[in-house]
Each structure stands twice: as C-alpha cells, then as structure tokens.
Chains A and B, each alone.
Chain A
Amino acid sequence: MSLWVIQRDLLLAIRRRADVLTTLFFFIIVVSLFPLGVGPEINILRTMAPGVVWVAALLASMLSLGRMFSSDYLDGTLEQMLLSPQSLAMLVLGKALAHWLVTGVPLVLMSPVLGIQYDLSADALLVLTASLLLGTPVLSLIGAIGAALTLGLRGGGVLVSLLVLPLYIPVLIFGAGAVEASAAGLGAGAHLSLLGAFLLASLVLAPWATAVSLRISME
C-alpha cells in the first residue's frame, strides 16, 4: 500500500523537478559556505567536515518538510487518505519514504563529492556516506511528525524547525560522531549501529505518531 504512495509521490516529484533540485542546491551551497567563513586552512576544515555536512543535511531535509503534506492538504487528497480503509500509518510511511527518496538520497549521493572539498580521506568519506544513508530516513520520519502537527498553520515552516530540531540532535551527534570516530581510528561501528537503531525505532513509531497528528490536524 505504501508502495503506491511512494510511486505516486515520486511521479509528482519528477513532474516538479525544481523542488528536488532546490533542496540539493541548498545542501551544496551551505556546505560550500563554511570554508569561506572559516578560512581555507585544511586541518580545521577536515575536522569540521562531518559536522558541517550533517548540519547541512539536517537543514536541507527540514526545509522541504513543509511540502510533504501541504500540497495534498490543499487539494483535498489528504482527506481522502484519512478516509481510505488503508491504514493511515502505512500511507504516512510511504509519504515519509518518498520524501526521503526525493530529498535524502540526493544528499547522500552528493556528500562524497562535497567531502572531497574538505579533503576527507577515502574511508572517512565512506563512513560519512554510510551514516548519511542511515540517518536521513530518520530525519524524514521524525520530520513527518512535525509536518503533520503544523499542517495549515501560519508560520508553519519556522514552527516545524522549532519542534523537530531538538529531536534530530541524537541523529546529528551519532552521524557526525561516526566519521570522527573512524577518523580517530576508533572505528565507526558503534555509531552506525546506533543510527541503525534510531532508524528502526523511527520506522516503527514515527508513522503511527504522524497518523495521530494528521487526524488531530485534519479534524
């Protein structure tokens, strides 16, 4: 059932290709801004790289959260989804994964290229990409809760970030920490497994919470 939603959302996303690219370009610009701000000194950049890339990924995925439900909310398809016999949680899971495919995956593919900008070593790049691959779906899933809660509110965009950022912090800590641990030779196994745990937990809990929030917002 959620496959249908994913397929539909991907179709919609491809038609409005601009939305996909804006998030990606935002990510690239933010990541490239930091060296300009901090200075070209390579050692500083290398230690800063994981944090910068992760924070940029966080902000990029959060920017596009607003659009996750708003288009369906405005033209009424969201109400149909609520009324449909299918379980709302599965539908929401589909929407969140579609959002991840549209915003998360391009970031993951882009991060090695940007990592080179920060002169990261090969295995650090590998760990960075792996951590982003594990982390970005969690961002979309938790973000779905925020998007559902602030549906149709004025100033919703800012509000979503206020609601959701504190919840992103564990993912940020272990995402950036994974790269740093592997760079320090400690091995990123622990961090990546924790990110995996977050992923599984949010896969189970977030859709249900988003479904509850959607019902509340759509009353």
Chain B
Amino acid sequence: MIWASWSDFFSMGGYGFYVWGSYLVSVACIAGEIALVFNRKRTLLKHLSLIHESTKQEKRNETTS
C-alpha cells in the first residue's frame, strides 16, 4: 500500500485535479453511455408494446395472412 493516507491518495502528489479530472470524466462517459443504451432500449420496447397493443388485431392478420 504505497499511499500514506487517504488524503495523500486523493491529492495524488499534487496532480490530483488532473488525475481525478480525467478519471471522473471517464466514469461519467462510460456510465452515460450505458444509461443511453438502456434508455434507448427501454423507450423502444415501450414504443413497440404501444404499437403491439393498438394494432394487436391488425398484427394478428398480418402474421396469419
């Protein structure tokens, strides 16, 4: 464990701002992207199920014909 204390860890030898700045943005980007992908999937499923509900009858005709 090369860090004397947690505060030493966060100061990162004076470069804390830069190191944590880049890591925070990286975590934000990755989390953001995951959120975006799931959001896109959820809205799509909601949208599809709406279509599914409203056109249930027509959908059945379409698949049977």
Chain A in direct contact with chain B (Cβ < 8 angstroms): no
- Give residues in B with beta carbon < 8 Å to A: none
